[in-house]
Amino acid sequence: MLHLLKNVRYLVTLGILLTGLNVQASADRIELINGSVIIGTFHDADNGKIVIDTDFAGRLTIEKTLILSMDVSSPVTLQMNDGSVYETSNLVVDNQTLALHDDDANYEIDQLLRINPEPWELGKAYRHTGQASSAFSLQRGNTVLDELDYRVNSRWRSLKDRFTVNLEGEVREANRERNAENWMITGKYDRFQTGAYYWGVSASAEENRFADLDLRTAFGPYLGRSFLEGTPFELEVETGLSQVNEDFGSDVDRDYLGLTWSVRSESQYFGTASRLYVDHQGVKNLADRNNLILNTTVGLAFPLLGQIQGATEVVLDYNSGAVEGTEELDQTYRFRLGYTW
């Protein structure tokens, strides 16, 4: 009996040792140019960065140009800068050169675009992203105020094109009387060209009851360019022409060709978890130099819990052709709460 127990204990000890050796052997390994060695589990690679999960420091993000050698034991799919796609059972980087065991091709690590790309990154599908958010305020006492602001943004992106739909609006009552009610919906289609350029068409409809605007519609083409895409600071600039029709309740209706422009930028200046953004659009009536419409939103978004996000915003709406008796400039300061996907 004693002999049997010793044998069992021996087998258990041997099993533990073999398990430990197997875990160590299957672990992914990265060696940096400065000689540092990181052991962990490979997670992802994109935008010039390698992501690895470690036991000692959690998830680490490493610039690929800092990597001297790398050994990933799990099967991976590689997408190169020239569009080539390789599937390999074991990824090895030696002296900043990719050695593909399943193929004869060799690439420098700088030529690696991403590892395990999503279907849309291979041109096989669309990536759907968006956000739904609102700002609601209640005030009771000498002044009774109810205000609801809502916004829904949705985007479908492929390697060749992009669809965007935006809906936003506001309803406000003060002392049981409604003094603001407006909405605007915009749809856009972008077609990407060589490099960072793209062309597109945009259509929008807008109503602002208390600015005497029954309906404003606009439709037209534009040219755009992306700057620093995939970096902590991204910028898109667009300019084009649009046919604008404005129907007013009491004023004379307008129909004109407008010069349009748009500037959208995002920055992770305050950290990767936050987002500083600016969204600006303008329309200039080419037949009336005094008719100018500007819409500018500046905000800071930050995560709260999971995919729930908060944001503080300043919104400036300017219309030099506003109907007599209404303000040319509207200023709004708000805190938003939303869900991203």
Backbone phi and psi for residue 320, each to the nearest 5 degrees, phi listed first = -70, -15
- With vertex at residue 310, the alpha carbon angle to CA 309 and CA 316, rounded to the nearest 5 degrees, is 125
Q: Which of 41, 38, 31, 94 is nearest to 66 (CA)?
A: 31
Q: Residue 265 pLDDT more than 60?
A: yes
A 10 A CB-CB count for 114 gives 19
Does 143 score more than 70 pLDDT?
A: no
- 252-270 average pLDDT score: 91
User: In this predicted model, what pLDDT tens digit does every residue of 39-85 receive, in sequence order?
Assistant: 888 877 777 788 888 888 888 888 878 888 888 887 888 888 877 88
Domains in the chain: boundaries: 2-117, 127-340
- The residue written with tokens 């307008």 in the block is 254
Tell me the CATH architecture of domain 127-340. Answer: Beta Barrel (2.40)
Hunting for tokens 């509207």 — which residue is that?
330
Q: How many Å apart are CA 334 and CA 86, to the nearest integer?
A: 48
Distance CA 290, CA 245 (A): 17
Residue 38's CB: how many other CB atoms inside 10 A?
Answer: 18
pTM across the whole model: 0.75
| Cβ atoms of 268 and 274 closer than 8 Å | yes
The amino acid sitting at 71 is D
